[in-house]
Chains A and B, each alone.
Chain A
């Protein structure tokens, strides 16, 4: 069974641009969560989707948004990029709503110049 896949793996953008990251969960998994990982702040929860509905949202500005499609694939979007948005963005999927059983993807490393 294929694991969680994220595309692209690496991305370079400039301030003010917007970016869309994609996550394909493990087949059969219906829950997708997104996290931001930086050296300074560590791993921080962004949001969680289940059956195309956002269930939970972390403490991030409205520039960060996401969605989930009927096939459980998810995208997150960051608008008006800032230098501080440079980070590894991790996606994790789980079968149901139990976050403790989630599997992480390899992440998308975003660099904002």
Chain B
């Protein structure tokens, strides 16, 4: 099925830097979700967004639900080594029948 367009594919940053990644789609979604996946583990939900324009924070993480309902972004401020992992966006459409995922952004943080 149609997956989401997530960018960048990978990022190599220095500890303390801010990070930004985004997801876009040609379809409208009712819910946007951001997950983090560590090696050998399943994805863990970081932030859930339910309303167009919504801006939600979870510690150093901030995510926004785009006004058009076709995009979302995730920011991580003051990155630390444990932020390393793969970040996925996911969207739930009008019928909420199944979840679509982005291909993931692999984040590497150099101490």
A binding-site residues for B, Cβ under 8 Å: 4, 33, 41-45, 48, 56, 58-59, 90, 92, 97, 99-107
Contacts and interface: CB of A to CB of B under 8 A. Distances in A.
A45 B101 CA distance: 9
A104 B44 contact: yes
B3 A99 contact: no
Contact of A43 (B44, B48, B92, B101): B101
14 contacts: A42-B88, A43-B43, A44-B1, A44-B101, A45-B98, A56-B97, A90-B43, A100-B92, A101-B48, A103-B45, A104-B35, A104-B43, A104-B44, A105-B42
Interface of B: 1, 3, 31, 33, 35, 40-45, 48, 50, 88, 90, 92, 96-104
B16 to A, nearest CB: 30
With a 10 A CB-CB cut-off, give which of A41, A42, A105 has the most chain B CB atoms. A42
Contact of B96 (A99, A105, A107): A99
Given A43-B88, A90-B42, A100 B101 contact: no
Contacts of B88: 42-43
What are the 3 closest A-B residue pairs judged by CB atoms, nearest first? A104-B42, A43-B101, A45-B98
Nearest to A99: B99
A103 B42 CA distance: 9
